[in-house]
Amino acid sequence: MKTTPASPRATARDWLGMAVLVLPALLASMDLSVLFMASPWISADLAPSASQHLWIMDIYGFMMAGLLITMGSVGDRIGRRRLLLIGAVAFGVASLLAAFAQSAEMLIAARALLGLGGATLAPSTLSLIRGMFLDENQRRTAVGIWTGAFTGGIAIGPIIGGLLLEHFWWGSVFLINVPVMVLLLIVAPLIIRESRDPNPGRFDLPGAVLSLAAILPVVYGIKKIAEDGAGWTSVTSIAVGVVFAGLFVVRQLRAASPMIDVHLFARPAFSGSILSNSIVTFATAGMGLLAVTFMQTVLGHAPFTAALWMLPTVAGSFIGVAIASILARTVRPAVLVTIGLLIAAGGFAAISLVTPDSHVGMLIAAYSALTVGVGMTATMVTSLVLTTAPPEKAGAASALAETSAEFGGALGIAVLGTLAGTVYRDTMRENPVPGTDFVGEAAADTVGGAVAAAQELPDELARPLLQHAFDAFTDGFTVSAIVGALVLAAAAVLAGATLRKVTSQQVAEAQE
């Protein structure tokens, strides 16, 4: 009987390096959601248009999604630790620019630069972990910790934002990145070993251009639909992106040194994991913005109070990670991923039952169930993505995992947020409150605008306006939650089908 020699176990230095790598992963995902609490303050200070406000929220995630594959390939060539340090500088500088932005345009540009920095940080951390932990059980634990930080960061973002806004101005939500990046620049060279692809080949510049040409038109088309509804411009833009995506695939099949091995997508474990990864972050980020807005406006909680109420949702992510890490040794991946997605779908379904008269605990309990399912799913799919890729392509595989997550998160904010906003606006404009027509478009555009308008009205007009606005926002909130539940339930069925032949033993063999 053939025996496989045991893989070397990680040292104390590796675990210390792991702790350092968790920080940029946490911040990279946190910046996807940290502005949720600051949104009203940014609107008051910079007065962005509705379109600019959407770009402020989304451009970070979309920039990361567009550049992650390219940066993962760059890291494989120049060294993943070196790319990590370059990303730390870019992320820190962009954070300073965002914190002191004087206009909506400046903040959008700074958030785009943050996306560039995040695109260099994210694949570097996960691919370095892939090379540091060769023992199967230790790697599963390390990936679980990283996953908990990454998925938990989306939930932690609004909490950190709320705590800071209680005492400082909105720019403080960006300044917290700076000391962490400085620490990373000092400590990483001392304790984290460099790693790279020993035979990277030439950098695939045409592939890099095609990857951007595929993603950015799709992003533009989605934004146009979010702003103006479906039209020829948006549909054409998305179609152009799809064409470039096809050209990118052809290029990768023919290139001598491709950025990604597209043959990996022929493996059910890989393609199913990538799709599941995208969908769970779609759910977490998309519902996160709506839940925080609901707590602050409809339920009337201050940022600090709302931040405290969000703490159980963070615990839910880590509970999900722990459950998946323990059960992964004995339970088939298809079962764990399917259960995780169904739990998350159940959380969405429970959120749809929340009303303006509900206690905030009902919302938090439902959202925590969602994060438990997300934690379970993300842990398994991240591990599957890494273990089905060869070690020398760890950066590119990590980038694909990150791309699916960041794109899913930004898409969730855009789609679920736009869906809720559309229901709100239609309700407010079709059934205006008598006597409040003079308050203008602000109250009919966003629930925050209605709250601001009500403060300038006498009580006999303010109360019906707020009640109508809260009911309208709740209707949009409910519709978005139902859509989220349906998407996750469909993903559970798909994941069960694509992963059904993958066993825990096969995952272990792929890790060796």
Tell me the CB-side half-sphere exposure of residue 362, using CA atoms within 13 A: 13
Length of the chain, in residues = 512
Distance CA 74, CA 204 (A): 9
Domain map of the chain by residue range?
12-203+257-511, 204-256
DSSP state of 166: T
**Whether pLDDT at 391 is above 70:** no
pLDDT of residue 64: 75
**CA angle at 301 for the pair 300 and 303, rounded to the nearest 5°:** 135
Give the range among 89-103, 362-376, 422-436 with minimum mean pLDDT.
422-436
Of residues 2 and 102, more confidently modeled: 102
Q: Copy the structure tokens of residue 340.
A: 């995780």
* Contact (CB, 8 A) for 378 and 151: yes
Query: pLDDT value at position 2?
Result: 44
pLDDT at position 315: 81
* CA 477/CA 471 separation, integer angstroms: 10
Please say whether the beta carbons of 215 and 66 come within 8 A: yes
Confidence of residue 499 (pLDDT cuts 50, 70, 90): confident
The average pLDDT across 305-322 equals: 81
Does position 19 have pLDDT exceeding 70, yes or no? Answer: yes
Pick 412 or 350 by higher pLDDT.
350
Q: How confident is the model at residue 511 (pLDDT cuts 50, 70, 90)?
A: very low
Q: Pick 206 or 100 by higher pLDDT.
A: 100
Give residue 347's pLDDT: 92
Q: Of 184, 146, 53, 182, which is closest to residue 107 (Cα–Cα)?
A: 53
| Spatial CA neighbour of 21 closest among 83, 77, 76, 67 | 83
pLDDT (average), residues 95-100: 92
Q: Given pLDDT bands bounded at 50, 70 and 90, which one contains residue 353?
A: very high
Better-scored residue on pLDDT, 332 or 143: 332
> Do the beta carbons of residue 92 and residue 183 sit within 8 Å?
no
Q: Which residue has the higher pLDDT, 57 or 232?
A: 232
Q: What is the mean pLDDT of residues 348-358?
A: 90
Binning pLDDT at 50, 70 and 90, where does residue 512 land?
A: very low
Q: pLDDT band at residue 93, thresholds of 50, 70 and 90?
A: very high
Give one DSSP letter per residue of 426-450, joined into a string. HHHHHSPPTT-GGG-HHHHH-HHHH
CA distance 424 to 429: 9
- pLDDT of amino acid 393: 59
Asked whether the beta carbons of 208 and 259 are under 8 A apart, the reply is yes
pLDDT band at 345; cut points 50, 70, 90: very high
Sign of CA dihedral 151, 154, 155, 156: positive
Of 133-147, 244-258, 295-309, 418-432, the least confident: 133-147
Give residues with Cβ within 8 angstroms of 230, minimum separation 6.
Answer: none
Q: Which position has the higher pLDDT, 438 or 38?
A: 38
Q: What's the pLDDT at 3?
A: 46
pLDDT at 510 over 60: no
CA atoms of 279 and 289, how far apart (whole Å)? 16
Stretch among 238-247, 304-313, 355-364 having the lowest mean pLDDT = 304-313
Reduced to 3 states, what is the DSSP secondary structure of residue 417?
A: helix
Backbone angles phi, psi at 114, to 5 degrees: -60, -40
Residue-wise pLDDT for 440-461, tens only, equals: 565 666 666 677 677 777 777 7
What span, in angstroms and rounded, lies between the C-alpha atoms of 131 and 187? 18
* Segment 357-374 mean pLDDT: 89
Report, as an integer, the average pLDDT of 46-74: 75
Task: Kindly report the number of other CB atoms within 10 A of residue 363's CB atom.
Answer: 23
**Residue 50's pLDDT band (boundaries 50, 70, 90)?**
low
- Cα separation, 508 vs 512, in Å, equals 7
Residue 267, CB-side half-sphere exposure with 13 Å CA sphere: 18
Q: Give the global pTM.
A: 0.69
Categorize the per-residue pLDDT at 349 as very low, low, confident or very high, splitting at 50, 70 and 90: very high
If you average pLDDT over every residue of the chain, what do you get?
Answer: 78
Note the pLDDT of residue 388.
Answer: 60
What does the alpha-carbon distance between residue 155 and residue 26 come to, in Å, rounded to a whole number?
Answer: 10
The rounded distance, in Å, linking the Cα atoms of 486 and 135 is 38
Across 190-204, 231-245, 417-431, which has the greatest mean pLDDT?
231-245
Q: Rounded distance, CA 494 to CA 485, Å?
A: 14
In this model, does residue 333 exceed pLDDT 70? Answer: yes
Tokens read off for 253: 């099949």
CA-nearest of 375, 350, 343, 371 to 477 is 350
CATH second-level architecture of 12-203+257-511? Up-down Bundle (1.20)
